[in-house]
Chain A
Amino acid sequence: MSDTTPDRTTRHIPDRLQSPLSRALKSWEMLLLIVAVGIFILNALASPYFLDPWNLSDATFNFTEKAMIAFAMALLIISGEIDLSVGAIIALCSTAIGLAMTAGAQAPVLVLVGLGTGLACGAFNGVLVARFGLPSIVVTIGTMSLFRGISYIVLGDSAFTGYPAGFAWFGQGYVWWVITVELVIFALAALIFWLVLHRSNFGRMVYAIGNNATAARFSGIRVERVKFILFLLTGLMSGIAAICLTSRLGSTRPSIAAGFELEVVTIVVLGGVSILGGSGSIPGVVIAALVMGLVTFGLGLMNVPGIVMSIIMGLLLIGVIALPRLWTMLRRR
């Protein structure tokens, strides 16, 4: 929904800019990093099993798949759109991979099927939003129901199991020692999205569209095309996440990745991306993903059930946005 508060107070403009170092120290990313380190130390003190390298390696699975999507989602939200269908895209990709598997396909084909389905879903969202100018919230609520609905039609209450051994590498394989394949994909994705958002023309276009789409159009940016590419990217990353998740779980049910959209959006917002668009950074998202991973892992070690963790995620999502606003409101008084 758009910003509907009509009264805007004038912004305070300082006489002198802060030095880059003090700005970096006071940034949201730094605050997050401190929180992450704090949680890490708390976890280490709370549970003797936490500092085991293999446990930590297992803990990365808590966030790698979601964070891959979160990078693309960050760009999408910065540009002023949102995609709530990512969990459903994973379900559909996983179902397509399962169908290909039952047809006798081997790992390379399964990967292609996953990527292709993700791209197709992203393109479908992208066409509806960018080409027909429909609001992305409702479009992706619709496709969320449609994509997962197709999975339910195909699978009903059954499941695909018995993926070929070669396919297990993506979700269960190790590149070196405790470094998982998924962690490497996550790191690569972080690097690529950092380059795209912070070091390329395309990234500048994303910010420009998010801050003022009309001005962006007048400066010669093809707004629709950029938005379409962003939906395509979100679909692609969901496809990659679907490959990892399917490979890790070794089975596909239509309810796979249910509620992922909430956690992905939470990571993005926690990472300091403005939900109204126009600002945010990839390092913030990376640290937010680490925070989420550490929190869920720490709670898991303390035997907190999954649904209680989802309450904490919900509180985190609202709290992260509410607290800074409360703070400024109280300070203004």
Chain B
Amino acid sequence: MSLLKSREAILALAMLLLLAVIASRFPGFVAPRNLAGVFTDTSPLILLALGQMVVILTKCIDLSVAANLALCGMIAALMDGMGVPLPLILLAVLALGAALGAANGALVWLLGIPSIVVTLGTMTIYRGTIFLLTGGAWINAHQMSASFKAFPRAVFLGLPVMAWIAIAVVAVMAVVMTRTPLGRAFYAVGGNPHAAVYTGISVGRTQFAAFVIAGALAGLTGYLWVARYAVAYVDIAGGFELDVVAACVIGGIAIAGGAGTVAGCVMGALFLGIIKNALPVVGISPFWQMAISGSAILIAIAFNARKRDPGRIILKQAEHRT
């Protein structure tokens, strides 16, 4: 019974139900091959949502992830154009992404500026920087080297490398969140910042670490995105930050911080991924997708608000009964 009450179980049921409804009309959609394709397609969302989850756990929000992705993707494409070998490019996008995340984190940590303001600002700065770098020019498939484009699509044990990267990051994050002091610190800072300070956890430094993780993941995804779609320009992944927040909220990451799991987050992303991939199959215009993810965010937060973890209901109630 308690299993059914968990948020992850409900989400898994909802996902199965969604798949069943689609399968009743279009059985081909649930063929393993297609589902693997859906997973690969959703990998960027999963990667960014995991980073966003850590940030939201610490009571912050990062609206700059999509811009970070686009900037790192463009840098990767530019480096490829200069003939830099792929391993170096991968290291560079990870480092650059982490640095952009660190810029957000430093402003939040050292200056105490609310994360929403910081990342609303850096969102336009990062995206504008792409324009400064390229003058608005596109980098197209024929300008990219073959190995640069092939890496995310290379099939290994039946799945493309991009999907394996997502799986690996999910595994690492699951261990970090549940088995390391840093993972506990994220929950502690979001659950009760004052108590976290008395336990010897630095709130600001933990938030900084969260932004660095989110940034590094966005940087890595930037390369994967550009290489997979074989195009880089100023507006790639425009508005993707909304999908990322949606995936987290649907996955049960409490926006007030301190509650949420890797499993929920991944399922939230997959839920959106299934809807996105099913729309053209079912014959609904892709223009519906934005409104659907918006509604999904609203339904999910309304649902989250009603189902609070009874363990901390007293504290939360006292704090939020304004």
Interface: B293 (CB within 8 A): yes
User: Cα distance A318–B110 when bound, in Å?
Assistant: 13
Cβ of B197 < 8 Å from any Cβ of A?
yes
Q: Which residue of chain A lies nearest to B284 when distances are taken between CB atoms in the complex?
A: A153
Q: Mark B3-33, 1 if CB is under 8 A from A, else 0.
A: 0000000000000000000000000000000
Contact A5 B204 (CB under 8 A): yes
CB of A166 within 8 Å of the partner chain: no
Given A138-B245, A321-B113, the answer on whether A149 and B124 have CB atoms closer than 8 Å is no
Interface string of B236-279 (1 = CB under 8 A from A): 00010010011001000001100000000000000000000000
- In the complex, the answer to whether A144 meets B113 with C-beta atoms within 8 Å is no
A321: chain B residues within 8 A (beta carbon): 111, 113, 117
Cβ of A104 within 8 Å of any chain B Cβ, yes or no, is no
Given contacts A145-B290, A148-B290, 8 further A-B contacts (CB under 8 A): A5-B112, A133-B320, A134-B302, A142-B295, A152-B291, A307-B128, A307-B131, A311-B124
Q: A221-252: which residues lie under 8 A (CB-CB) from chain B?
A: 223
Beta-carbon contact of B255 and A135 below 8 Å: yes
Q: Is the CB of A156 within 8 A of B294?
A: no
A interface secondary structure, majority: helix
- The reply to whether A153 and B245 form a contact with Cβ atoms under 8 Å apart is no
- B149: interface (CB < 8 Å): no
Chain B residues with CB under 8 Å of chain A are: 59-61, 107, 111-118, 120-125, 127-129, 131-132, 136, 189, 193-194, 197, 203-204, 207, 234, 239, 242, 245-246, 249, 255-256, 285, 287-295, 297-298, 301-302, 305, 320-322
Task: Offer 28 A-B interface pairs, CB within 8 angstroms, sorted by A.
Answer: A1-B61, A3-B114, A4-B193, A5-B204, A6-B193, A6-B197, A128-B302, A132-B302, A134-B302, A135-B256, A138-B245, A138-B297, A138-B301, A142-B246, A142-B249, A142-B301, A145-B297, A149-B287, A149-B288, A149-B291, A153-B287, A156-B285, A269-B117, A305-B136, A310-B124, A310-B127, A311-B125, A326-B111
Chain A residues near B297 (CB, 8 Å)?
Answer: 138, 141-142, 145-146
CB of A175 within 8 Å of the partner chain: no
Which residues of the other chain, B, contact A149 by a CB distance below 8 angstroms? 287-294
Min C-beta distance of A295 to chain B, whole Å: 14
| Closest-CB distance, B255 to chain A (whole angstroms) | 5
Residues on the A chain within 8 Å of B322, using CB: 213-214, 217, 223
- Any B CB within 8 A of the CB of A301: no
Take A153-B287, A262-B120, A325-B112 as given contacts and tell me if A5 and B203 are in contact as well, using a CB distance cutoff of 8 Å.
Answer: yes
Which of B115, B129, B292 meets A1, CB within 8 Å?
B115
A259 beta carbon closer than 8 Å to chain B = yes
Inter-subunit contact B122/A1 (CB<8 Å): no
**Given the complex of chains A and B, what is the CA–CA distance between A3 and B123 in angstroms?**
22
CA of A259 to CA of B122, assembled, Å: 13
One of A146, A152, A157, A266 near B298 (C-beta < 8 A): A146
Within the assembled complex, what's the spacing in Å between the Cα atoms of A82 and B122?
18
Q: Considering residues B107, B118, B293, B298, which has the most beta carbons from chain A within 10 angstroms of its beta carbon?
A: B298
Contact of A146 among B114, B203, B295 (CB under 8 A): B295
- Cβ-closest 8 pairs across A and B: A149-B291, A146-B294, A145-B294, A149-B290, A311-B128, A142-B297, A213-B322, A314-B124
Contacts A134-B305, A156-B287; A318 near B121 (Cβ below 8 A): yes
Could you tell me the distance between the alpha carbons of A123 and B97 in the complex, rounded to whole angstroms?
39
Least CB separation from B122: chain A residue: A314
Identify which of residues 3-39 in chain A touch chain B, using a CB-to-CB cut-off of 8 Å. 3-7
A120 proximity list for chain B (CB < 8 A) = none
Which of B115, B117, B194, B249 has the largest count of A CB atoms less than 10 A from its CB? Answer: B117
Query: A1 contacts B294, CB within 8 Å?
Result: no
Q: For the complex, count residues of A whose C-beta is within 8 A of B.
A: 57
Is A147's beta carbon under 8 Å from chain B?
yes
User: A299 within 8 Å of B by Cβ?
Assistant: no
Q: Are A308 and B124 in contact (CB under 8 A)?
A: no
By beta carbon, the residue of chain B nearest A85 is B294
B32 → A minimal CB distance (Å) = 31
CA distance A151 to B263 in the complex (A): 33
CB of B294 within 8 A of CB of A314, answer: no
Q: Given A145-B242, A146-B298, A156-B285, is A275 in contact with B290 using a C-beta cutoff of 8 Å?
A: no
Which of chain A's residues 99-153 have a Cβ closer than 8 Å to chain B?
A: 128, 132-135, 137-139, 141-150, 152-153
Q: Say yes or no: is A184 at the interface (Cβ < 8 Å to chain B).
A: no
Decide if A308 touches B194 in the complex (CB within 8 Å): no
A191, CB-defined interface residue at 8 Å: no
Q: Known interface pairs A135-B256, A213-B322, A265-B117. Does A318 touch B288 (Cβ–Cβ under 8 Å)?
A: no
| Interchain CA distance A270-B203 in the complex, whole Å | 27
Contact present for A142 and B294 (CB under 8 Å): yes
Residues of A within 8 A of B121 (CB): 262, 266, 313-315, 317-318
Q: Are B301 and A145 in contact (CB under 8 A)?
A: no
Contacts of A262 in B (CB 8 A): 120-121, 123-124
Once bound together, how far apart are the Cα atoms of A5 and B202, in whole Å?
A: 10
A305 to B290, CA, bound (A): 28
Instruction: Give A183 to B285 CA distance when docked, in angstroms.
Output: 40
